[in-house]
Structure 1
Amino acid sequence: MTVQDVRAFNRFYTGVIGALDHGRHLYAPYTLTEARVLYELAQAPHRDVADLRSLLHLDAGYLSRILNKFEGAGLIERGPSQSDPRRRRVQLTARGREAAALLDARARDTVAALLDTVAPAERPRLAEAMRTIRDVLGAESARSAEVVLREPRAGDLGWIVQRNAALYAGEHGWNADYEGLVARIVADFAEDHDPHLERVWIAEQAGRAVGCVMCVRDEAPGTARLRLLLVEPEARGHGVGDRLVRAVIDFARAVGYRELVLWTNDVLSGARRIYQRHGFVLVAEKPHRSFGKDLVGQDWRLDLRDPGA
Structure 2
Amino acid sequence: MTDSEALRRAQAVRHFNRFYTQHIGALHEHLAKSEFSLTEVRVLHELSRGRAQTASVLGRSLALDSGYLSRLLTNFERRSLITRRPSEFDARQSLISLTESGHAAYAPLDTAAIKEVSSLLAGLNPLAQEQLITAMKTIERLLGAEPSHELVVLRQPQSGECGWLVHRQAQWFRSQHGWDQSFEGLLARVVADYTQRSDPVREMCWVADQNGLVVGSVCLVSVSTTVAGVRLLWVEPDMQRLGIGTQLINACLRFARRAGYTKLTLTTASSLIEPRQLCERTGFKVVAASPERRFGKDLTIERWELNL
Question: Whole-Å Cα distance in 2 between the matches of residues 279 and 203 of structure 1?
Answer: 21
Asked if the contact 1:225/1:262 (under 8 Å) is kept, the reply is yes
- Counterpart code for 2:12: Y
Match of 1:31 in 2: 16
Displacement after TM superposition at 1:19 (Å):
8.0
Match of 1:202 in 2: 207
TM-score norm. by structure 1 comes to 0.59
Match of 1:177 in 2: 182
TM-score norm. by structure 2 comes to 0.59
Question: Whole-Å Cα distance in 1 between the matches of residues 276 and 3 of structure 2?
Answer: 37
SS across alignment from 1:31:
helix
Task: Kindly provide the CA deviation profile for residues 22-49 of structure 1, in whole angstroms up to 9, marking residues without a partner as x.
Answer: 57884189424769xxxxxxxxxxxxxx
Name structure 2 gaps, 5 residues minimum.
21-61, 63-109, 136-142
SS across alignment from 1:261:
strand
Instruction: Name which of 209, 218, 221 aligns with 1:216.
Output: 221
- Counterpart code for 2:131: Q
SS across alignment from 1:90:
helix
Q: Does 1:269 align with 2:273?
A: yes
Match of 2:69 in 1: none
SS across alignment from 1:168:
helix
Identity %: 36
Instruction: Name which of 240, 248, 252 aligns with 2:244.
Output: 240
Instruction: Name which of 126, 142, 151 aligns with 2:156.
Output: 151
Displacement after TM superposition at 1:288 (Å):
0.6
Instruction: Name which of 162, 182, 192 aligns with 2:197.
Output: 192
Trace 1:1-309 onto structure 2 (pairs within 5 A): 21-22=6-7, 26-27=11-12, 30-32=15-17, 64=117, 77-79=124-126, 89-91=129-131, 137-139=145-147, 142-143=148-149, 145-218=150-223, 220-304=224-308
Larger radius of gyration: 2
Asked if the contact 1:78/1:91 (under 8 Å) is kept, the reply is no
Tell me: higher relative CO, structure 1 or 2? Use CA pairs within 8 A at least 6 residues apart: 1
Displacement after TM superposition at 1:303 (Å):
0.5
Higher mean alpha-carbon deviation, 21-30 vs 240-249, is at: 21-30
SS across alignment from 2:209:
strand
Task: Kindly provide the CA deviation profile for residues 122-151 of structure 1, in whole angstroms up to 9, marking residues without a partner as x.
Answer: xxxxxxxxxxxx99x415xx22x1111011
RMSD value, Cα: 3.6
SS across alignment from 1:91:
helix
Runs of 4+ in 1 over 4 A off after TM superposition: 16-25, 63-68
Count of matched residue positions in the alignment of Structure 1 and Structure 2: 209
Match of 1:101 in 2: none
Question: Whole-Å Cα distance in 2 between the matches of residues 208 and 276 of structure 1?
Answer: 27
SS across alignment from 2:126:
strand
SS across alignment from 1:138:
coil
Question: Whole-Å Cα distance in 2 between the matches of residues 195 and 158 of structure 1?
Answer: 19
Return closer, same or farther for 1:298/1:25 CA change in 2, 3 Å cut-off.
Answer: closer
Displacement after TM superposition at 1:193 (Å):
3.0
Displacement after TM superposition at 1:190 (Å):
1.0
Question: Whole-Å Cα distance in 2 between the matches of residues 294 and 66 of structure 1?
Answer: 54
Match of 1:84 in 2: none
Name structure 1 gaps, 5 residues minimum.
1-15, 36-56, 72-76, 81-87, 98-133, 305-309
